[in-house]
Amino acid sequence: MSSLRPTAGARFLLERTGAPGEAARADYRVVVYTPDAEFAGSAVLGDDGSVELVPTGAPAILDAALAMFAKLTARGAPKRREDGLPTWPARVLRWRSPTEK
């Protein structure tokens, strides 16, 4: 069992694959953790806010939440670059309670 598995709700992980850089796009491994399952996939994020998400096989509501977190990460890329931060974070981890819609 993964240490990222929550006792309630769902945890969403995006981990950049490949070398860090200032490219306009970045590849990520994505995982949705629930109390009793893990769903893995991949995503390509663009600094124009675009996201190409390979569905993880999780329930649609969880894949939709994962897509939202990926889009927020992609939309933030230009600002991070402008602020002198890495354009693409190595890891993004979010949690959503079971009552959030």
Does residue 41 form part of some domain? yes
100 pLDDT band, cuts 50/70/90, is: low
Does residue 97 form part of some domain? no
Question: In the chain, pLDDT over 70 holds for what percent of residues?
Answer: 94
The C-alpha atoms of residue 51 and residue 66 are separated, in whole angstroms, by: 11
82 pLDDT band, cuts 50/70/90, is: very high
Token pair for residue 85?
């931060």
pTM for this prediction: 0.89
Domain that holds residue 64: 10-90
Q: What is the mean pLDDT of residues 35-40?
A: 96
Q: What is the mean pLDDT of residues 15-19?
A: 87
Does residue 4 form part of some domain? no
When divided into structural domains, the chain yields a total of 1
Q: What is the mean pLDDT of residues 71-80?
A: 95
Q: Is 38:31 a contact under the CB 8 Å cutoff?
A: yes
Residue 13: name the closest of 26, 24, 4, 25 by CA: 4
Does residue 66 form part of some domain? yes
CA distances to 5, 26, 62, 67, 88 from 95, in Å: 10, 22, 11, 13, 20
Does residue 25 form part of some domain? yes
Does residue 3 form part of some domain? no
Does residue 70 form part of some domain? yes
Does residue 100 form part of some domain? no
